[in-house]
Structure 1
């Protein structure tokens, strides 16, 4: 993926890693559109971040996705990168059926939201000579966290979907990347309040991601060093040990 001269849409780009990436890409001479549900927040981001514009979008609503597609491709026909950052992460207790509502919301946002966004934009992106779809999974797609079973499952599903998307689009101009974050000190699951050192500082994560994209543009999985113990636990033969360690840390 080239890191300059793009027009980039980031869903879930109003906070956390999404906003951080938006700011980094804007600073690298890209036009960036951040999409989120809250119009007032989008206006605040536009006012304080030159080069970033806002787009109202709720990835849990198929109609909202369709409307956002129509609007952004009309206002920014040069759009050539879509990053599907939008997601939620909530704890679940599987001892009783009470977890089901959380599970359904998580699947709707993380999995269906990603797939519906890709479905909306893929044909359009194929008309561009140099286009990218970047999905966002997690180290927990590869070694799950006991506290968040459906989150783990949705990220594993997105990882699998991304592999096949890349395979099927190999005959097009669309490059398909997977961003695989570790635990990062954002508000997701309150990790910004964790002073144990388990969560990677946001700026450190963003520095490493931008370095990978710049220096290793052919990488298909964008992985910082801190996520690799989760990504490769099965290959390393310590999957059960790493999963138990994760479970004991939350």
Structure 2
């Protein structure tokens, strides 16, 4: 129960890795702020947490909107009076050829995957300094290697890695730790319903789907919990791959 007395805010908590992480933190004693767009999905995660004896609050906000990000942090502080861990997990992804990407799709992906985490970090930082807390952002192998048909997503994840490293340097003299996790393919609600478009070249897709099968989100949760815990007190500005060897070559 190493997170007893701690407050953890998780984005994308309504499904997939976000839900798995929320349940794991709750089992370790944390109070959870569940953040996402869909209140119904957040409430289902909340129900599972409460059934296990945990404490949580559901916060339905649009992470692509700066004002919503600021309001979400304020709501978390109003609910529990402190914030110890911010986990940026929510993400939008879509497959498109370059010529088919619309202005709306580009801006939406960047807003959700990069701008949202930035504004959350900015609003949360004074509270994390006070609690000697930390941030774990979830990027992707797409934050370190080019991936065909995923230009907006890849750009946003490269940006999230750069943002994390930059803020880690800026906060070097503070008690806050900031790290990033880079999963490979996972078996989640989002990916299980995903099919590759007809125009996609299988040889290009094979470069980043890996030789090992996709993992369940629980396999990524364990290193996430470690990074957010006091056991990782010397880990700051790190980028950890949890990808089954994709970036090894």
TM class by shorter-chain length?
0.7 to 0.9
Give the root-mean-square deviation of aligned CA atoms: 2.6
Q: Which residue of 2 aligns with 1:146?
A: 148
Alpha-carbon distance in 1 for matches of 2:67, 2:140: 27
Alpha-carbon distance in 2 for matches of 1:197, 1:107: 29
2:119 to 108, 113, 116: 116
Q: Which residue of 2 aligns with 1:206?
A: 221
Contact 2:14 2:42 in 1 (8 A): yes
Matched, 1:12 2:20: no
Unaligned runs of 5+ in 2: 197-210
Q: 1:227 to 1:150 in 2, by over 3 A?
A: farther
Unaligned runs of 5+ in 1: 234-250
Q: 1:100 to 1:198 in 2, by over 3 A?
A: farther
State the shift of 1:133 in Å: 1.3
Alpha-carbon distance in 2 for matches of 1:225, 1:97: 31
Q: Which residue of 2 aligns with 1:54?
A: 58
State the shift of 1:168 in Å: 0.6
Aligned residues: 228
Q: Which residue of 2 aligns with 1:39?
A: 39
TM-score normalised by the chain length of structure 1 = 0.80
Matched, 1:82 2:82: no
SS at 2:171's partner residue?
A: helix
State the shift of 1:209 in Å: 4.3
Q: 1:185 to 1:214 in 2, by over 3 A?
A: same
Q: Which residue of 2 aligns with 1:173?
A: 175
TM-score normalised by the chain length of structure 2 = 0.80
SS at 2:35's partner residue?
A: strand
Contact 1:93 1:147 in 2 (8 A): yes
Deviations 1:90-137 (A, max 9, x none): 11111x254433222101111111111111111222222x21111111
SS at 2:159's partner residue?
A: helix
Q: Which residue of 2 aligns with 1:28?
A: 28
Q: Which residue of 1 aligns with 2:202?
A: none
Contact 2:5 2:31 in 1 (8 A): yes
SS at 1:184's partner residue?
A: coil
Q: 1:188 to 1:223 in 2, by over 3 A?
A: farther
Q: Which residue of 2 aligns with 1:71?
A: 75
